[in-house]
Amino acid sequence: MKLSLLYNDFRDSAGTPAIGPRLAERAKWAEDAGFHAFFMIDHFFQTPLQGPPDGPMLDVYSALSFVAARTERIMLGPMVLGVMNRQPGPLIKQATTLDVLSGGRSYLGIGAGWFERELTAFGLPFPPVAERFERLEETLQIAKQMWSQSSGPYNGKHYRLAETLNAPQPLRAPHPPILIGGSGEKRTLRLVARYADASNMNLDEGIDSLKRKLAILQDHCLHAGRDYAGVEKTSNGGFLPLSKSGAKGTMSPEQAIDLLGQLKEAGIEQALIGLKVVIPEDSRELIATELIPSVAKL
């Protein structure tokens, strides 16, 4: 079992000058504490669940490159890229650059996207969901081609590349793990089975729903001729800040360890916790001294 951190809020009481130093400090703490990966969200505006739209938000690949220069071991990646936010060719170049500069420590996390406001604000298209999934599949195909020996053209319904030349190639072999975010039964999980190295599902609907979704993913893998065990199963959410007592609004280390045990039993191999869980100093100490050492034993 692995534990990773999702960095999803850049607000700081000290203002904009503190954003960079705070990001560097928290990433280094996560690495030293023993987190497996450090993920960052990909948005132009802050999302409704985290705060007002005019809250501070950084470009994900610029920020991850900043983190890469200040860490040595922890995996890095977007959780997850919105497929409409970038053209596929430049996107895979950005993903490759992060992998090379981090020494092969990157994931490519991607999904169909959902935040219409930020896209229309920036003059980017927000097509219907069916088209977004078509574009997601073509982007995955382009990624596979750019991370191969082929530099020929790609001709899809939505994207056409005259060449897929990509030098240098990633350091991670055969390429950075492709992680698809979402748990849609008919589209998302089918794409996971066909193209992804990892899947990320949210815990909003509870453990029983997660088990059902994983069973559907297993069925999609069977039909795709894919080894289900070869797909890393990750989850997002479910955790509160830690406290010794587990007082209201928190959870005790024992409760957090029990949740991790339930996730492992369901089939999850990597659990993500959000930034709010690690902001309180007491929670950070308990994560480092009690939770992460217990995760390694699960």
Residue 262's pLDDT band (cuts 50, 70, 90) = very high
pLDDT of residue 296: 85
**Which domain covers residue 119, as residue numbers?**
2-295
CA 48, distance to chain mean position in Å, is 18
- Split into its structural domains, the chain has a count of 1
pLDDT of residue 50: 84
pLDDT of residue 1: 93
CA 27, 33, 38: angle at the middle one, nearest 5?
Answer: 35
pLDDT of residue 76: 98
Could you read off the pLDDT of 138-188 as tens digits, one per residue? 999 999 999 999 999 999 999 999 999 999 999 999 999 999 999 999 999
* Residue pair 152/164 in contact by the 8 Å Cβ criterion: yes
pLDDT of residue 49: 82
Q: What percent of the chain has pLDDT over 90?
A: 95
C-alpha distance from residue 75 to each of 146, 161, 173, 264 (Å): 22, 30, 14, 20
Q: Residue 259: enclosing H or E segment and its boundaries?
A: helix 253-266
CATH number for the domain harbouring residue 175: 3.20.20.30
CA distance 93 to 98: 9
Residues 6+ apart with CB under 8 A from 79: 6, 39, 40, 41, 42, 109, 179, 181, 200, 236, 272
Helices (H) and strands (E) in the chain, counts: 11, 11
Give residue for tokens 């530099």: 151
